[in-house]
Amino acid sequence: MSNIVVENRDIVIPGDLLAEGMDYIPGDFTFREDEKIFSKILGMVSVSGRVLKVTALSGPYAPKIGDKIIAKVTDVLMSGWRVNTNTAYTAVLNVRDATTRFVRKGEDLTGILDIGDFLVCKISNVTSQNLIDVTMKEPGLKKVEGGRIMKINCNKVPRVIGKKASMIQLIKEATGVEITVGQNGLVWLRGSADGELKAQQVVRMIEQRAHESGLTGKVSKFLGVAHKPVTPTPTPTPTPAPVPKAEPVVEGGEQ
């Protein structure tokens, strides 16, 4: 006999009962005690089938395997680098995950990455002790060069990216700025001086107004471009950007 206590998109606090019985499965940021499922954090419930999960509304970034993040090199190690991931725990980038070329034993690693450099990388492993490994061995992962870096609340990252990267696409097209959003809340903007500034203002605006609906429309108005209606026309870009009229308040997104 199972019984769900909450509805989709309810706001819950840590310890709030979500469901009773074994028919439901605890998802992200929830836990099961006896036969009850509780929330671990302040967030919004999302029910998908039998899985109950909570989307965080606040709090620091929690490293997850497969997340693309922007990290900063803080130390050069024997065979790699220690990087700051904007969490309480640092990560290690091994030489073999950083470059494809042959690196001699005892070579000066600062030639590849130096202290203070930023890099776009992917979390390849997180242990239960929160030891993190990152890798750059995938297309699109590289050292950050030029442009500017800004920091936003990591819980607003999905909003900045938008549904199927629609928001990023919109900003890119309007400002001509290359935008890379790390799941840990660091954003790298590179383009013309005016474009970077405009993009930075837009990202800041999205962060502050993330809870409002119809944000894409407001952003297009701010950027002075026409708000594209929902037309699933195939575009030559790799990420087609159908802009939804009214988006849910928080949604998962990926770049």
Partner 1 sequence: MNTAMISFNKSSVLALAKNGKRFDGRKLDEYRGPIEIESSISKSAEGSVKVTMGDTVVIAGVKLSLEKPYSDTPDQGGLMINAELSPLSSSRYEPGPPQMPAIELARVTDRGIRESHVIDTKKLCIEKGEKAWFVIVDIISVNDAGNLFDAAGLAVMAALRNTTFPKVDDEGKVNYKEHTDEALPIAKDTLSITIRRVGKNLIVDPTVEEEDASDARLTVSSESDGVISAMQKGGEGTMTIEEVMKAVDLALDKANFLRGKLK
In angstroms, give the least distance from the CB of 187 to partner 1: 10
79 vs 110, beta carbon nearer partner 1: 110
In angstroms, give the least distance from the CB of 120 to partner 1: 13
In angstroms, give the least distance from the CB of 116 to partner 1: 6
User: Which residues contact partner 1 by CB under 8 A?
Assistant: 72, 84, 116, 118, 144, 146-151, 186, 193-194, 196-197
Find, among 194, 253, 199, 239, the residue nearest to 222 by Cα. 199
146 vs 252, beta carbon nearer partner 1: 146
Residue 250 CA to residue 70 CA, distance in Å, equals 22
146 vs 248, beta carbon nearer partner 1: 146
Q: Are strands 90-94 and 132-135 parallel, antiparallel or unpaired?
A: parallel
Residue 164 CA to residue 179 CA, distance in Å, equals 15
DSSP E strands in 35-117: the ranges are 36-39, 43-48, 51-56, 68-76, 80-84, 90-94
Residue 129 CA to residue 218 CA, distance in Å, equals 43
95 vs 150, beta carbon nearer partner 1: 150
In angstroms, give the least distance from the CB of 83 to partner 1: 11
